[in-house]
Each structure stands twice: as C-alpha cells, then as structure tokens.
Amino acid sequence: MTAEQRSGYRMWGGRFAGRLDPRVARFTASLPVDLRLLPHDLRASLAHAGMLTDRGIIPPEAGRQIGAALRTMVEEAGAGTFPVDESAEDVHTLIEGELSRRIGEAAGWLHVARSRNDQVATAFRMWSKEAAVALTARVAALVEALLERAAGDGEALLPAYTHLQRAQPTLLAHHLLAYAAMLQRDVERLRRAHEAADLLPLGSGAAVGVSHPIDREAVAAALGFARLSSNSLDATGDRDFAVELLSAVTLLMIHLSRWAGELVLWATAEFRFVEFTDSISTGSSIMPQKRNPDPAELIRGKAGRVLGDLVALLTTLKGLPAGYGLDLQEDKPPVFDAVDTASDALEAAAVVAREVRFRPDQMRRALEDGFVTATEISDQLTRRGLPFREAHRRAGEVVRYAEEREASLGQLGPAEWSTLLPELTAADQADLAARLTPEGAVAAKDTQGGAAPGRVREALAAARRLLAAAQEWVREREAEARRRDERLAG
C-alpha cells in the first residue's frame, strides 16, 4: 500500500509535480464541515455505482465490489463506526479513499461520469430534504403544545395589545392561536423548501454534463428525487434550495423570538401574566429572589444568530458567476448552524409552552383600566346610523368624560349616557352595557377569524386539522426515506 493510500488520499494529482503546501491543504479542506454529509454521499455513490453497472459503463465485477463495499460503509456510517481519515480533503475524498483501501483498484471506477461539483450538490440536497422534514416535526410538536394550552386555558380573558398598549379584550386561546398560525405558515415554508431541494443534480458533471450514456432518471428514482436538473452549469452552482431552507428557518426563528419575547415581558412583575415554573427557569448568582425566564431569552437571542447565517449565505452567493466555485464550500456551515439552532430552540419552546403557568387573574385585572371596550361605543353609534368617523369622535368624547371623572365605562349611569349619547334608546343603552363588558366585547367579534368563543373554537378545530396534515406529511416523507434506504440496501 502506498503512502497516498494510507493517508491523505487525493482525487487529483497527475497534473501536478509538487505537493500542496500543508497550510493551504488545511485552509482548503472541508472535511470537518461536510463530514455531516457522509451518509448522504454514500447513498448517492451507491445509486450512481448501481446505474453505471446497469448501463454497462463500468465492468460488472468492479460494480459488484463497489456496491458491496458501499453498502457496508452505509451501515457503518449509520452506526457511527465509519473510519475517518482526518487528513482527507473532503467527505468525497474520504469515501473514495476508504473504498480504495477496501477493494483496491476497482474503486477507481466509481467516479466515472460525475464530479465533486454535482456530487456535493446532490448530498447537500438530500440533507436539506431531511432537515426540512425533521424541523417540520419539531414545529408540529410546538403547535400541538400551543393548541393543548389553548384548549385547556384558553377561556381566560386578557387585553390584546397594539403599540404595546392595551387595545381590546380577547381570549387567551385566540392569542395562542395567533402564534400557531405563524408556525403553520412556517410548516408551509419548510414544505416548499423540501420541494425546492427535491431535484437531482447528479449527472451534471463538473459544469457541462458528462460524455457517458448515464440514466439520470434511474438515479433519481433510487434516491427519491422528484425531478432532474435541466441545466448542468446551473445545477452545480445552484444553492437556491439552501437559501429557501435557511430563509424558512430564519422566519421560523423570528416567530419564536416574538413569542419568547412576549413571554419574557409577561413574566415581569409589571405584567405577571405568566410564571416560569422551576422546570423552565433559573436563578441569579447573586440575587436569591430572582426567577429568570432563561429559555425564552435564549430563544430570542438565537434568532439573531440564525438571521446572521442567512446573511452570510446570501453574501457568499451574491458575486458568483454561473457554475461552481470553491466559495460554495462556505454554503453549508450557515445552513447547518441555523438548522441545529432552530431544532434546539423548537425543542425548548415546546417544553416552555407546556410548562409555563398562565395567570388568568392578572390577565383579567389588566382589562379593568384603559377603556379597552371603547370601540363598542362607536360600533353601537354606527348601528344607529352615524358615519363611523363621527361615531369614533363621539366615543372618544365619552372616554374623555369618564377619564376626567376617574370612572370606568361600566360605571357611567343611564342619565350620563343619555346626556353623552342622546341618539341611543334605553334598549340601545342596555345592549351597549352588555357589550362594554370584556365578555360582551369578545362575544361581539363573531366574524371569521374573530375572537368570539365560537369562532375561536372553529379556529382551534381548523388548526388541529392543519396540524394533523403536517404530521401526516412528516410520516409520509420518513416512510419514503426508509423505502429508499431499503432499495439501496438491496
């Protein structure tokens, strides 16, 4: 066995008389990052080798040896026992070098009709598809937790806020469903990211295709890809799918940050809408009374990190001409980091969602100030025939009158209402009095998407249906991956 076979296997070298400076070798190596693609690159290699053999492009015996060795290597990668030569340039070199050590000269046939350029694009797309599925499963787990809390604690009344000022009464369930709606959009974006990645670039070669009679459809079927790339030059340099995945993950983290930040606010003594229980809070190293909402703060903080990952990837891509450049070696670190960060954040968020304790008494107390049902006055006047802008002005005058007397709207008597709003009959006043309570104001919002209890129950049922669909999609994709692996295992 030569020194090259023992360590530092290279896929290239005939053109070069000298050796690569070890400092440059370390700088250009990507194995510490793209080792993560090992199981995907092995499977892609297995499908490629099977196609080459079936098409008679490589000798049958070489194909048999390559296939048998690669299947063993796939099993080892899954078990974590695959031997890693840390001096390898990248994951592709690692695999081919290990294959060469196992079966000798026959390994040299594997790289017929492919390049590392289309090879890495294929493995990265396979990884991205699986990442989208795994993240969808974790988003679904968080949505499920939110829906359970909406069903169990959702009848509590609290103020909805605009401009961080008390606005109008709503149900806690309606509030929680707002975040569920954001997360359900994230599910759709992750599904689109999966679809964007579901395209096979293998067979594009380095830039302009290959000269052998390959069967790309067979490889796509073996690997579970839905479509083939249509332009080889674009396929090797295309990272739109990575941007779409990272964009989806970034917006997901923004939604988690909004929710987490609100919980941090709600946990303050100024709000006291929630309490972080012992299982989801930590203490201070100096102040013994403190109960800190650390997981929510960290979720909020990590959103900035993921946003930075998106900017990093886009910046890498913005100046590249068509085709492959080694700049694209920088595509995977931000995507890997963002997916890992979001996965951990989702797991923590689901725990927080289940463990945080709501304070309905404090929420209800917050409805007592701020004239949060004042819109019902203008709506009542509109029903009596006043243009809304005039009704809005008159309602504002009522609020000013009550504020000057340090009274709530419910504390105004019939004589005062008759003076302030002579248009209203006694029946109108009775109707308005019912609507000026938090329960009455919420019940009045009986429109699709509104906060009325019946509408919220409808929304909760619809959210459960969307959740079930997302969970079913995850199960289907996981089953497809298992069938793919069974086919490749032979």
User: Letter for the amino acid at 288?
Assistant: P
- Taking only the tens place, the pLDDT of each residue in 386-436 is 999 999 999 999 999 999 999 999 999 999 999 999 999 999 999 999 999
Residue at which a domain ends, from 85, 112, 139: 112
C-alpha distances out from residue 394 to 98, 386, 424, 453, Å: 82, 10, 12, 29
pLDDT at position 80 over 50: yes
CATH code for position 11:
1.10.275.10
Rounded average pLDDT over 456-462: 98
Catalytic residue check, 284: yes
The reply to whether 262 and 346 lie within a common domain is: yes
Domain count across the chain? 3
- By DSSP bridging, strand 157-162 and strand 165-171 are antiparallel
Task: Report yes or no: 33 and 332 within 8 Å, Cβ to Cβ.
Answer: yes
Helix (H, G, I), strand (E, B) or coil at 205: coil
- pLDDT, residue 403, reads 94
Q: Other CB atoms closer than 10 Å to residue 452's CB: what's the count?
A: 18
The reply to whether 329 and 234 lie within a common domain is: yes
The reply to whether 108 and 126 lie within a common domain is: no
Contacts of 416 (CB under 8 A, 6+ apart): 401
CA 446 – CA 328 distance, rounded (Å): 53
Q: What is the pLDDT confidence band of residue 3, given thresholds at 50, 70 and 90?
A: very low
Residue 251 DSSP symbol: H
- Taking only the tens place, the pLDDT of each residue in 133-186 is 999 999 999 999 999 999 999 999 999 999 999 999 999 999 999 999 999 999
CATH code for position 422:
1.10.40.30
Q: Long-range contacts of range 312-319, CB-CB < 8 Å, 24 or more positions apart?
A: 313/239, 313/242, 313/243, 313/246, 314/243, 317/239, 317/243
Helix (H, G, I), strand (E, B) or coil at 455: helix
**Angle of helix 116-153 relative to helix 38-54, nearest 10 degrees?**
130
C-alpha distances out from residue 348 to 144, 253, 309, 354, 470, Å: 14, 12, 20, 10, 20
pLDDT at position 477 over 70: yes
Rounded average pLDDT over 227-249: 98
Task: Report yes or no: 107 and 96 within 8 Å, Cβ to Cβ.
Answer: yes
Q: Which of 275, 271, 452 is nearest to 363 (CA)?
A: 271
Buried b (16+ CB within 10 A) or exposed e, 367-384: beeebbbbbbbbbbbbee
Q: Which of 88, 125, 95 is nearest to 110 (CA)?
A: 95
Do the domain assignments include residue 447? Answer: no
CA 394 – CA 422 distance, rounded (Å): 11
Catalytic residue of the set 163, 211, 230, 285? 163
**Mean pLDDT for all residues in the chain:** 94
Contacts of 399 (CB under 8 A, 6+ apart): 371, 374, 409
Tokens of 120: 């890495």
Helix (H, G, I), strand (E, B) or coil at 275: strand
C-alpha distances out from residue 27 to 31, 32, 89, 313, 326, Å: 11, 11, 10, 19, 12
Helix (H, G, I), strand (E, B) or coil at 386: coil
CA 70 – CA 65 distance, rounded (Å): 9
Q: What percent of the chain has pLDDT over 70?
A: 97
Q: In what helix (H) or strand (E) does residue 48 lie, and over which residues does it extend?
A: helix 38-54
The reply to whether 275 and 324 lie within a common domain is: yes
Contacts of 4 (CB under 8 A, 6+ apart): 10
The reply to whether 9 and 137 lie within a common domain is: no
The reply to whether 89 and 166 lie within a common domain is: no
The reply to whether 402 and 474 lie within a common domain is: no
Catalytic residue of the set 194, 284, 343, 392? 284
Do the domain assignments include residue 71? Answer: yes
Do the domain assignments include residue 443? Answer: no
pLDDT at position 115 over 80: yes
The reply to whether 464 and 432 lie within a common domain is: no
Do the domain assignments include residue 450? Answer: no
Do the domain assignments include residue 446? Answer: no
Catalytic residue check, 163: yes
- pLDDT, residue 29, reads 83
Rounded average pLDDT over 93-101: 96
The reply to whether 14 and 145 lie within a common domain is: no
Do the domain assignments include residue 144? Answer: yes
Range name among 26-30, 85-89, 293-297 with the lowest pLDDT average: 26-30
The string of DSSP codes covering 148-198 is HHHHHHTT-EEEEEETTEEEEEEEHHHHHHHHHHHHHHHHHHHHHHHHHH-
The reply to whether 132 and 235 lie within a common domain is: yes
Q: Which domain holds residue 69?
A: 3-112
Residue at which a domain ends, from 96, 112, 128: 112
Tokens of 416: 């005062």
Rounded average pLDDT over 224-253: 98
Task: Report yes or no: 177 and 185 within 8 Å, Cβ to Cβ.
Answer: no
Task: Report yes or no: 100 and 107 within 8 Å, Cβ to Cβ.
Answer: yes
CA 110 – CA 182 distance, rounded (Å): 46
pTM: 0.94
pLDDT at position 6 over 50: no
Residue at which a domain ends, from 57, 83, 112: 112
Tokens of 1: 């066995």
pLDDT at position 119 over 90: yes
Task: Report yes or no: 223 and 484 within 8 Å, Cβ to Cβ.
Answer: yes
